[in-house]
Amino acid sequence: MVEDASEASIEERFDRLELAVEEGRTCRRAWICSDGVQERLSALLYVAPECRTSSGGGDPSRCPARLMPPWFAHLTVWIDDSGSDLLHQEKLLRYARVMRSATVAFRKEDWEHLELRIRRLAVSWVAKSSGDGLVKSAAGVAFSIHDAGIASKVWPSDEQWSTSRQGIMQLHARAVERATSMLPRRVVGGSEFVDVVADDESSQTSCDRLWASAIDIELISWSVANDPANDSMVASSLFRRVVSESDQDASISEIFDAVSGVVLERGSSTP
């Protein structure tokens, strides 16, 4: 590891990750691993040692801005921890190649363009996993603002984000009301209460499915949130519905494709 991390060039940072991958010195689902002889690090710590904390963990928000914005640093952790062991080495090597190009080529507007693409990608996975009409409608609202921003290459205005979020939250309210209607109501002391469980197993199954749709719509609403403070939102929330390792491998590949696409649009070449 470079002693003075701030002095490392972009090339040196990604060279360090590639070498660690080739030598089997990476650590999954933990920031730092040690067998008492050799220390292994997560992918982000090789690229951005500045993220390492004094407590022995890591903090993606400390990633240097010249490398990537905080939201993508958080997404890097999800990429590293997700997917199959079989494709892990290949995945990290591709990450190093693609991100080496991106960090050199990207300007602020390119990262914004990429974020819109990633948000759309995440929503597509939510919609793909649900057959519910309200979820599909919420995804459609989200796609509209994502696609408009992608086409114009302009980050949507606060008003546009707010309008989209309001539309999705109206669908969320309908989904919650629909799920609640499946639960029995009882009057106690003149007041009506809704039970937390249904009367029978079949009704409970239906209710659970409807509540899952309400949660999916809430996830989609986060894709139209214009909140810079919530940098972990894309990784920790939007990709929550990508559960199986095979789906994670596929979604990670799509993320890399999105990065490469924006790099090409910028006029650079990607390995």
Q: What is the pLDDT of residues 98-122, one digit of tens each?
A: 999 999 999 999 999 999 999 999 9
Side chain identity at residue 269, one-letter code: S
Side chain identity at residue 85, one-letter code: D
Q: What is the pLDDT of residue 166?
A: 97
Weakest-pLDDT range from 100-109, 160-169, 227-236:
227-236
Contacts of 175 (CB under 8 A, 6+ apart): 132, 134, 135, 210, 213, 214, 217
| Segment 253-271, tens digit of pLDDT | 999 999 999 999 987 444 4
Per-residue buried b or exposed e for 238-271, using 16+ beta carbons within 10 Å of the residue's own CB: bbbbbeeeebbbebbebbbebbbebbeebeeebe
Mean pLDDT of 225-229: 79
Distance CA 177, CA 251 (A): 32
Q: Which tokens is 242 given?
A: 């990508």
Q: How confident is the model at residue 4 (pLDDT cuts 50, 70, 90)?
A: low
Q: How confident is the model at residue 203 (pLDDT cuts 50, 70, 90)?
A: low
Predicted TM-score (pTM) of this structure? 0.88
Mean pLDDT of 11-26: 96
- On the question of pLDDT at 193 being above 60, the answer is no
Average pLDDT over the chain reads 88
Q: How confident is the model at residue 62 (pLDDT cuts 50, 70, 90)?
A: very high
Q: What is the pLDDT of residue 180?
A: 83
Mean pLDDT of 30-54: 94
Q: What is the pLDDT of residue 183?
A: 66
Q: Which tokens is 10 given?
A: 């972009």
